[in-house]
């Protein structure tokens, strides 16, 4: 869309920066209140229902790289998300001795075009971790404040699951879960012996109709390619498009926001952005500015929006903006399940993700790390893709031929061909996703030495894991080995040791980064109040994971959306009462 | 010298070459040139299209390399009574593309293909393609079994691992290979669990606790409604 940009005051009621989970939800709710809205998005438009945007139901040979990942689509050639760890012309830097990998998507819907659709509510304890273990702060709100919004998100977007009545894993308004796959049942043999719970997973995929705008899942397992019939959640298909139907939403694409503009009183007046089409700067004005550019990017915009009223960056008198950056922990293990070799063939695609998972089940008081993790399981007879048949130089020793004899690593010929066929669907594995401790020392800041192709100074990351996370990773590996072994699988590779922090992935790798603009009651220790409104700039709000005080061992997106809904209602109220 | 002795000498690394360079007169004709149509019809950004066009503009494998590959990939994944081999499944086209798309592998691939020739030369005085298939396999046996290969062949072992990986992946992601594998998905369906007889075979069963909770195919199209306690009632 191209607009003639005139600088007129209050062109819009609200400007929303970013169209991902947070920005999309804000656009949907605010547009329903009849407000005029500009959604300013750095990437292009995207709609999987359009044939030219469709990668769903394509066969591996339709991709010249057979689905291999690329710099632009690290999760595979058919993956819907455009961007990745390393975007041309948009660098970030990492301080010496620390590490951080930053995954970004540049398109309408942001990272919800790929995400795993694991949709977990935070539990009552998750909002009060600081009180429970004394490490860091608790949230200024509790589960009871967010519950009504989780309920609304469940109804609006849809999530399947089972009611379990586990205190810190609150149940929602669930759609029916799919039955487990074979490897999931086989792995449960191991967990049963260890008294580790395995319950139906909770994914935002429509196993049942919720309205007439969206279709019902037909079990192709390809949610990361984006669903033509909108049976899974992505912000573009489920929030931005419906918001546009409300009539007063202008979507600005290829528009990279540089800063929030402010007036002499330090209030936000709008945003200044660079259009990727003409590479010129443009300005938009509004009564309210809502940031949903993702936790780190929103912090970057605030830090780049210095003014005489906000010398430390916009609404950053506390100095916390950029700090308390934290990601989930993660590590995993693979194994081969001999009983699944040469298995019967049937269509086992299922939904685009695991059908079962393990919520955190232990008591941290008895462990040498303070916070828990959940386990995600994988395996099955998925569609062959780049990588299928790899690794026979180490794996053939486990594959039995028709006479029951195991092979020799490597080789070639008819035996190799048969072995790969027999091995199909016998690989299993699991990944842990855990809660880390938010720390002031883990942060992003503006790197004065580097800017991107738009001339905007970039972020520099400082992040180190602590003993808490490392001990947790060790526990994950001990557990994985036991589950795999007890379920009759043969472990592959060796168990990572202390030298590699027990296989703990680099910060950022789990793509759950939050906490950079945290909320709190004390303006000296937080940037936002409990409604995600900036303490020092009352018409500035944050709707992405920036506001999180701590992350829980749950994936963040359901909470991002519940909070974005809550904040949007607050904005509507404050606007109608002329408080902002 | 008989060939067994030659091979022994390769192991010892002492045999001198008897191959005389005679220009381009190799006897091989098999050149199946790769098909170059890399621009898929779906969702590519301008940056992606640019990369694909650049790939399209040059050819990686020369005709000697292609001739060798055509033989090698069918040795790795041969045809049998019921299925075609790697060559017929179009694996060459995939190899040509993926070499250009992942340039990090180029040196290993190129070096390995030449290694086969000079090793054949040192053992048998001929190019790899000119020796008997039995002799070709003798050479491959030096590098195809990583656990027992001699350390001094390590580079060639890595080359063969790469070629095995890429040939296998190219094959099993082709239409013919996927059929041989027996993959049944990528088509709209209603998942209603693992077939009963398969569960029985593996000694697993569904948890009775969830039988009423799991999705019921016949109710999928009825719009969901919940009671005040969050129980699904439709
Ligand atoms: C591989 C993967 C798996 C995941 N799995 C899960 C999961 O199972 N469950 C879960 O809860 N979460 C998961 N996540 C995380 C989830 O995707 C994010 O939490 C969620 O998308 C965050 O929403 P957001 O609105 O904060 O940011 P994003 O979704 O990243 O959206 C931000 C948007 O802002 C735009 N933008 C950025 N900077 C600017 C700027 N300066 N100007 C204008 N626009 C800008 C971007 O282009 C983007 O569209 C996963 C993520 C990935 C990548
Ligand atoms: S698994 Fe279901 S929701 Fe996901 S892409 Fe396929 S049809 Fe759509």
Contact B119, B144 (CB under 8 A): no
- Looking at the 3D structure of chain A, how many domains does it have? 1
Q: What residues of chain B lie within 8 A of the CB of A387, using their CB?
A: 169
What is the residue range of A557's domain? 1-46+82-140+236-327+440-464+513-580
Contact A175, B224 (CB under 8 A): yes
CA B56 to chain centre: 21
Does residue B224 form part of some domain? Answer: no
Contact A17, A271 (CB under 8 A): yes
Which ligand has the minimum distance to the alpha carbon of residue A351? Answer: 2
Does residue B210 form part of some domain? Answer: no
pLDDT of residue A247: 85
Burial of residue A128, with CB atoms counted within 10 A of its CB: 0-12 exposed, 13-18 middle, 19 or more buried: middle
pLDDT of residue B136: 98
**How much helix, strand and coil, in percent to the nearest 5, is found in chain B?**
55, 0, 45
Of residues A111 and B32, more confidence is placed in A111
Does residue B125 form part of some domain? Answer: yes
Residue pLDDT, tens place only, A54-105? 999 999 999 999 999 999 999 999 999 999 999 999 999 999 999 999 999 9
- Binned at pLDDT 50, 70 and 90, residue A522 comes out as very high
Q: What residues of chain B lie within 8 A of the CB of A410, using their CB?
A: 144-147, 157, 160-161, 164
Does residue A495 form part of some domain? Answer: no
Residue pLDDT, tens place only, A343-354? 999 999 999 999
Q: Rounded to an integer, what distance in angstroms lies between the CA atom of residue A378 and that of residue B110?
A: 36
Does residue A528 form part of some domain? Answer: yes
Q: Is the beta carbon of A561 within 6 A of some atom in ligand 1?
A: no
pLDDT > 70 in chain A, percent: 98
Q: Is the beta carbon of A220 within 6 A of some atom in ligand 2?
A: yes
Does residue B198 form part of some domain? Answer: no
**Mean pLDDT of residues grouped by 10 in chain B (234 residues)?**
55 49 42 61 89 92 96 98 96 97 97 97 96 97 98 97 98 98 97 98 97 96 96 94
Does residue B199 form part of some domain? Answer: no
What is the residue range of B124's domain? 3-181
- Could you tell me the strand order of the sheet in which A443-451 lies? A93-94, A457-462, A443-451
Q: Rounded to the nearest whole angstrom, what is the distance from the C-alpha of residue A512 to the centroid of ligand 1?
A: 9
* Residue with CA at minimum distance from ligand 2 atom 8: A227
Does residue A524 form part of some domain? Answer: yes
Does residue A261 form part of some domain? Answer: yes
Label the pairing between strands A93-94 and A37-40. unpaired
Atom of ligand 1 nearest to the CA of A83: 47
Q: What residues of chain A lie within 8 A of the CB of B230, using their CB?
A: 151, 163, 171-174
pLDDT at residue A457 above 70? yes
Does residue A5 form part of some domain? Answer: yes
pLDDT of residue A375: 98
ipTM score assigned to the predicted complex: 0.94
Q: Is the beta carbon of A430 within 6 A of some atom in ligand 1?
A: no
* Residue with CA at minimum distance from ligand 2 atom 6: A220
Does residue A223 form part of some domain? Answer: no
Q: What are phi and psi of A46, to 5 degrees?
A: -155, 130
Which of A63, A158, A392 is nearest residue B40 as measured by Cβ atoms?
Answer: A63
Does residue A354 form part of some domain? Answer: no
Does residue A338 form part of some domain? Answer: no
Of residues A53 and A457, more confidence is placed in A457
Residue of chain B whose alpha carbon sits nearest to that of A397:
B147
A389 min Cα distance to partner chain B (Å): 5
CB within 8 Å of A262: residues ≥ 6 apart: A268, A269, A305, A307, A309, A310, A314, A537
Mutation probe of ligand 2 site: the residue of A158, A221, A224, A382 with most atoms within 8 A of C-beta: A221
Contact B168, A416 (CB under 8 A): yes
H or E element: which one contains B223?
none
* CATH code, domain with A531: 3.50.50.60
Q: Rounded to an integer, what distance in angstroms lies between the CA atom of residue B156 and that of residue B143?
A: 6
DSSP A384: P
A321 min Cα distance to partner chain B (Å): 33
Closest to B99 in 3D by CA, of B32, B34, B154: B34
- Looking at the 3D structure of chain B, how many domains does it have? 1
pLDDT of residue B36: 56
Residue contacts between A and B (CB atoms, under 8 Å): 261
Residue pLDDT, tens place only, B116-174? 999 999 999 999 999 999 999 999 999 999 999 999 999 999 999 999 999 999 999 99
Taking each helix axis as running N to C, give the angle between helix A414-423 and helix B154-172, from 0 to 180 degrees, rounded to the nearest 10: 60
How many residues are given for chain B?
234
pLDDT of residue B40: 83
Residue pLDDT, tens place only, A13-66? 999 999 999 999 999 999 999 999 999 999 999 999 999 899 999 999 999 999
Q: Rounded mean pLDDT of A320-329?
A: 98
For the four alpha carbons of B154, B157, B163 and B165, in that order, the dihedral sign comes to negative
């Amino acid at each position: 869309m191209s607009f003639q940009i005139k600088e007129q005051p209050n062109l819009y009621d609200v400007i929303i920066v970013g169209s991902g989970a947070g920005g999309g939800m804000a656009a949907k709710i605010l547009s329903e209140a009849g407000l005029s809205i500009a959604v300013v998005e750095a990437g292009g438009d995207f709609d999987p229902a359009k044939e030219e945007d469709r990668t769903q139901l394509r066969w591996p040979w339709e991709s010249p790289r057979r689905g291999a990942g690329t710099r632009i689509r690290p999760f595979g050639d058919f993956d819907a998300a455009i961007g990745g760890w390393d975007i041309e012309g948009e660098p970030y830097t990492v301080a010496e001795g620390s590490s951080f990998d930053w995954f970004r998507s540049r398109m309408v819907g942001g990272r919800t075009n790929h995400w795993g659709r694991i949709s977990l509510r935070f539990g009552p304890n998750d909002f009060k971790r600081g009180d429970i273990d004394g490490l860091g702060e608790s949230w200024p709100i509790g589960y009871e404040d967010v519950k009504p919004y989780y309920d609304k998100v469940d109804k609006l977007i849809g999530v399947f699951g089972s009611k379990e009545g586990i205190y810190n894993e609150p149940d929602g308004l669930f759609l029916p879960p799919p039955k487990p796959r074979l490897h999931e049942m086989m792995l449960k043999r191991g967990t049963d012996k260890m008294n580790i719970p395995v319950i139906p997973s909770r994914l935002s995929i429509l196993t049942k109709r919720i309205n007439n705008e969206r279709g019902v899942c037909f079990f192709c397992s390809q949610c990361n390619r984006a669903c033509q019939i909108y049976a899974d959640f992505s912000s573009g298909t489920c929030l931005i498009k419906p918001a546009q139907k409300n009539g007063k939403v202008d979507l600005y694409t290829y528009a990279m926001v540089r800063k929030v503009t402010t007036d002499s009183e330090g209030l936000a007046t709008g945003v200044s952005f660079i259009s990727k089409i003409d590479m010129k700067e443009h300005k938009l004005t509004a009564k309210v500015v809502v940031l949903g550019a993702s936790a780190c990017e929103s912090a970057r915009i605030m830090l780049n929006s210095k003014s005489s009223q906000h010398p430390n960056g916009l609404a950053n008198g506390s100095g916390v903006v950029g700090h308390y950056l934290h990601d989930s922990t993660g590590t995993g293990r693979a194994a081969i399940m001999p009983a699944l070799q040469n298995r019967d063939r049937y269509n086992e695609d299922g939904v685009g993700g695991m059908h079962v998972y393990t919520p955190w089940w232990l008591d941290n008081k008895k462990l040498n790390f303070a916070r828990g993790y959940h386990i995600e399981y994988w395996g099955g007879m998925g569609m062959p893709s780049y990588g299928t048949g790899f690794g026979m130089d180490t794996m053939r020793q486990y594959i039995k031929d028709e006479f029951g004899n195991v092979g020799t690593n490597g080789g070639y010929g008819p035996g190799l061909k048969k072995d790969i066929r027999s091995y199909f669907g016998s690989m299993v594995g699991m990944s842990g996703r855990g809660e880390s401790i938010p720390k002031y020392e883990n942060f992003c800041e503006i790197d004065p030495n580097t800017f991107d192709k738009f001339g905007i100074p970039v972020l520099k990351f400082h992040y180190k894991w602590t003993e808490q996370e490392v001990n947790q990773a060790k526990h994950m590996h001990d557990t994985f080995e036991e589950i795999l072994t007890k379920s009759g699988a043969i472990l592959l590779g060796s168990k990572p040791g202390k030298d590699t922090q027990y296989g703990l992935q680099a910060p950022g790798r789990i793509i759950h980064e939050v906490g950079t603009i945290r909320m709190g009651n004390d303006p000296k220790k937080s940037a936002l109040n409990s409604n995600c409104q900036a303490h020092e700039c009352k018409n500035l709000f944050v709707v992405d994971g920036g506001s999180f005080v701590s992350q829980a061992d749950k994936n963040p997106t359901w909470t991002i959306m519940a909070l974005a809904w809550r904040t949007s209602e607050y904005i509507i109220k404050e606007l109608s009462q002329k408080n902002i | 010298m008989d060939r067994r002795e030659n091979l022994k000498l390769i192991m010892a690394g002492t045999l001198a070459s008897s191959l005389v360079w005679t220009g381009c007169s190799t006897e091989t004709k098999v050149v199946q040139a790769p098909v170059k149509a890399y621009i898929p019809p779906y969702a590519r950004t301008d940056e992606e299209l640019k990369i694909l066009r650049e790939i399209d503009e040059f050819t990686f494998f020369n005709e000697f390399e292609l001739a060798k590959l055509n033989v090698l990939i069918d040795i790795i994944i041969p045809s049998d009574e019921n299925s075609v081999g790697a060559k017929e499944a179009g694996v060459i086209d995939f190899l040509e593309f993926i070499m250009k798309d992942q340039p990090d592998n180029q040196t290993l691939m190129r070096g390995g293909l030449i290694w086969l020739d000079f090793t054949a030369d040192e053992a048998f005085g001929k190019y790899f393609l000119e020796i008997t298939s039995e002799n070709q396999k003798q050479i491959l046996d030096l590098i195809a079994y990583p656990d027992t290969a001699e350390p001094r062949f390590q580079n060639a072992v890595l080359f063969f691992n790469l070629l095995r990986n890429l040939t296998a992946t190219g094959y099993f992601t082709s239409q013919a290979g996927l059929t041989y594998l027996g993959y049944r998905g990528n088509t709209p369906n209603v998942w209603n669990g693992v077939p009963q007889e398969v569960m029985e075979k593996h000694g697993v069963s569904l948890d009775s606790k969830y039988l009423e909770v799991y999705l019921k195919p016949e109710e999928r199209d009825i719009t969901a409604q919940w009671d005040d306690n969050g129980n699904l009632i439709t």
